[in-house]
A and B are shown apart, each in its own frame.
Chain A
């Protein structure tokens, strides 16, 4: 079968914010509410994203990637998040796994997976949370034991974004000494995927529960070092995921702002346009200000990532905390500004409202963000 990537390799290519915006406005915005209602992103869009080079454009050029810097990647993810948080979520988890394999993989693992992840021939999901452990990653019960020079994996992972569709799972499990990260192809015997339907938000992100029963893995399934530094695979991967969710949250604020600015310019109440009412103006002004502030925080975190600065990790926590809370606040106000129309299907703001709530829970909930930021407060003394 000829794919879109082969028939139209360049015309749809996303390389920066501008081309991402064009892609999103053409291929995502008109359909995002339908994805949300159907609870899935269609294969056709996944293929278009492959053709656009959207899956992991930050991978180095010598692996077939685009070598995109992380500030630009953030701008691209913001644009996708403006269009549809479910699609952005698919990109987020794929980004996390692709980065982890590129950063921590052995030469053989990189050769096996990176080009395919870069193209989007293999889609990936990130499997940390379990029925009994979310915020506290050290509480996971999934485990591996060494056997015949390889590993045997047992456990259940829950709330796995793109679990319904992904081809490769990065699974965190207990080893004899610590927690390790394991690459598990979906078609491994003993892997069972159960869709989770009807989520509150990011309803099209194809979430699943995945159980692993006596899954036999080769020695090359372990990604990165074992022992104390195994925690870094998790920290680094979550850091990039958090960055992507922060950018997506900016996208939600921007989408709320655009929807409200348009609606308030048309809708009249008592003979006045909504946009001329001081209480509505207050909401719009806060959206404009927070969109800009959140975007700057995200850009700063991205700039520090590109520079390899250790301070990017805290900068990303701060950016995600600010952007996700701003998204939840402004998506709520966006529904308010739309009145009953905000509660129906004719406008995107109800979806933004539901999606925004999720941003306060994933990749470090608000509470965990506040605890982490506060624990480093003394660093801010200047």
Chain B
């Protein structure tokens, strides 16, 4: 899994919620941060930053719970690197 992707995602989430202490495995839904505006921003951020398109069947809550799960999603969607 790409550590770089995880860091970039964490930076994005932290920039939105500077008052919160969030680590890579923390469930951001359980912390109560995610509203539909932020969910949309997250999807746009991931698609733009990692040049992927997230298909409807990957738009599941479990894929967005933590920086780790989002980075795994990015890995799955990215073309295989040689």
Contact = CB atoms under 8 A, between A and B. Distances in A.
A and B associate: yes
A229 B44 contact: no
Given A232-B39, A372-B37, A227 B61 contact: yes
Interface stretch (A279-287, A308-316, A323-331): A308-316
B51 to A, nearest CB: 10
Interface string A173-201: 00000000000000000000000000000
Interface string A288-329: 000000000000000000011111110000000000000000
Of listed A104, A225, A310, A372, residue having the most chain B CB within 10 A = A310
A140 to B, nearest CB: 14
A234 to B, nearest CB: 7
A308 B37 contact: no
B48 to A, nearest CB: 4
B1 interface: no
B60 interface: yes
Given A235-B40, A310-B41, A225 B57 contact: yes
A235 B12 CA distance: 19
Given A234-B36, A235-B36, A372-B37, A227 B48 contact: no
B59 A225 contact: yes
Nearest to B12: A310
A229 B61 contact: yes
Contacts of B57: 225
A372 B37 CA distance: 10
Nearest to A234: B36
Interface string A3-29: 000000000000000000000000000
Interface string A368-381: 00001000001100
A232 B19 CA distance: 25
A313 B37 contact: yes
B42 interface: yes
Contact of B56 (A225, A372, A379): A225
**Helix, strand, loop or mixed for chain A's interface?**
helix
A229 B37 CA distance: 11
A189 B62 CA distance: 38
A253 B61 CA distance: 42
B22 interface: no
Contact of B60 (A106, A229, A236, A378): A229
B17 to A, nearest CB: 9
Contacts of B29: 228
B16 interface: yes
B49 to A, nearest CB: 9
B37 A235 contact: yes
A310 B60 CA distance: 19
A310 B39 CA distance: 10
3 cross-chain pairs, A with B, having the tightest CB-CB distances, nearest first: A231-B36, A229-B59, A310-B41
17 contacts: A104-B56, A106-B56, A224-B56, A225-B59, A225-B60, A227-B61, A228-B34, A235-B39, A236-B40, A310-B12, A310-B41, A310-B42, A310-B45, A313-B40, A313-B41, A372-B37, A379-B16
Given A225-B57, A235-B36, A308-B44, 11 more contacts: A224-B59, A225-B60, A229-B61, A234-B36, A236-B40, A307-B48, A310-B42, A312-B44, A313-B40, A313-B41, A379-B16
